[in-house]
């Protein structure tokens, strides 16, 4: 017998997370040649102030990071006007999703989530030997909150609300979410994933942080990976009442967020002009794409994020391949549970224009009866 034979069966059959980087491309090729519109990163990068802060930190690489993220949590607590101990920082908000499931889910327990939604939820539940209960989106491509309530059983431990939802970009509005939270029994943890919240334009529709911290069973997630442009540093945070944060902290490893990530996030938070500008540019790109898509007869889901789902009459894997052959990386809807759709990140204007011109070519060649994948 080999070591592989002794590895737990559940681990052997866990699905692998597939990132937005095609496996056939190296990071070097990606940087030089490709327009990456597959992972909802900020195409305008991060604040200019960050490189100096990171550079200054390089002399201290031999020292362990602050395991409590003290300065970052202080900065976040001022920024959101909440207490220091209502915040937990993670190695990306991904890690806080792991903590929440680890804290709540035993083998056989159930976790309710929308379908499709962020794929990571299901993967994490499977790792804990829990069961994902997936509730189809409604006809507006938004969470079907009534159905989610219907699915609650004695085994339900966690409910994920992804708002704006990845991949559809739809927002669960404040009123509906407030009523929903009131209906969920208070022993079930509700995780509101707001990874794209800074892009939301309907600000009066956002569930407030004040409400989150008043609830016993609500955890709100935010990240520095999206509008702040720090995906590679891996830093995100959770906000909840103190008792919940204290429990999540027990699951957290001692030095889970590295020192550069902590410094970078602090600097990013203090440059709100960069956030404002990124949002404005995202709006410009979004309305350019809407206009072009409408002009050329493509259906799309209006988005509150920095990505758009576009419906095609063609298999999305073949569109993905055609885009890749033309130097553009997008997400095929097949991987996201929406075949015949693609998800595209709103990019810089030049990139949006190139994307539209290739999309038109693809549509044209399908209408002419051919779809040459190698083009």
Residues that bind ligand PLP (CB under 6 A): 40, 92-94, 118, 162, 166, 193, 195, 223, 225, 231, 236
Give the CB-nearest residue to ligand PLP.
Answer: 92
162/319 with CB nearer ligand PLP:
162
Q: Are 130 and 84 in contact (CB under 8 A)?
A: no
97/356 with CB nearer ligand PLP:
97
CA distance 187 to 207: 20
CB of 303 to ligand PLP, least distance (A): 13
CA distance 311 to 296: 12
CB of 188 to ligand PLP, least distance (A): 20
121/320 with CB nearer ligand PLP:
121
Among the listed residues 323, 249, 236, the one whose alpha carbon sits nearest the alpha carbon of residue 86? 249
CB of 280 to ligand PLP, least distance (A): 21
40/358 with CB nearer ligand PLP:
40
195/310 with CB nearer ligand PLP:
195
Q: Are 135 and 144 in contact (CB under 8 A)?
A: yes
CB of 166 to ligand PLP, least distance (A): 4
CB of 42 to ligand PLP, least distance (A): 12
Helix (H, G, I), strand (E, B) or coil at 145: helix
CA distance 162 to 283: 21
Q: What single string gives the DSSP state of each residue in 274-304? A: HHHHHHHHHHHHHHHHHHHHHHTT-EEE--S
CB of 121 to ligand PLP, least distance (A): 9
CA distance 321 to 299: 20
170/225 with CB nearer ligand PLP:
225
């Amino acid at each position: 017998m080999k070591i592989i034979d002794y590895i737990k069966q559940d681990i052997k059959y866990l699905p692998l997370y597939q990132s937005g980087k095609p496996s056939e491309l190296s990071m070097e090729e990606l940087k030089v040649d490709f327009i990456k519109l597959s992972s909802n990163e900020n195409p305008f990068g991060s604040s200019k102030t960050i490189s100096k802060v990171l550079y200054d930190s390089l002399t201290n690489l031999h020292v362990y990071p602050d395991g409590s993220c003290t300065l970052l949590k202080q900065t976040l607590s001022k920024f959101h006007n909440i207490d220091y101990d209502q915040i937990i920082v993670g190695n990306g908000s991904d890690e806080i999703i792991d903590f929440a499931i680890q804290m709540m889910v035993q083998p056989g327990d159930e976790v309710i989530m929308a379908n499709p939604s962020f794929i990571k939820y299901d993967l994490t539940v499977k790792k804990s030997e829990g069961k994902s209960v997936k509730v189809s989106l409604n006809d507006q491509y938004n969470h079907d909150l009534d159905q989610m309530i219907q699915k609650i059983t004695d085994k339900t431990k966690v409910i994920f609300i992804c708002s704006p939802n990845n991949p559809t970009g739809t927002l669960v509005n404040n009123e509906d979410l407030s009523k929903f939270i009131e209906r969920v029994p208070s022993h079930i943890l509700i995780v509101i994933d707001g990874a794209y919240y800074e892009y939301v334009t309907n600000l009066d529709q956002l569930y407030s942080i004040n409400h989150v911290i008043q609830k016993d069973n609500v955890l709100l997630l935010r990240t520095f990976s999206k509008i702040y442009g720090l995906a590679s540093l891996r830093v995100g945070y959770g906000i909840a009442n103190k008792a919940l944060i204290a429990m999540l902290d027990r699951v957290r490893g001692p030095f889970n967020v590295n020192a550069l990530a902590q410094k970078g996030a602090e600097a990013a938070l203090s440059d709100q002009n960069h956030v404002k500008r990124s949002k404005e540019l995202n709006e410009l790109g979004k309305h350019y794409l809407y206009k072009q898509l409408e002009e050329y007869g493509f259906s799309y889901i209006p988005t509150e994020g920095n990505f758009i789902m576009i419906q095609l009459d063609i298999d999305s894997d073949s569109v993905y391949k055609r885009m890749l052959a033309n130097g553009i990386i997008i997400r095929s809807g097949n991987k996201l549970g929406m075949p015949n759709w693609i998800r595209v990140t709103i990019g810089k204007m030049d990139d949006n224009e190139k994307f539209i011109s290739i999309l038109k070519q693809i549509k044209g060649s399908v209408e002419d009866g051919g779809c040459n994948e190698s083009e």
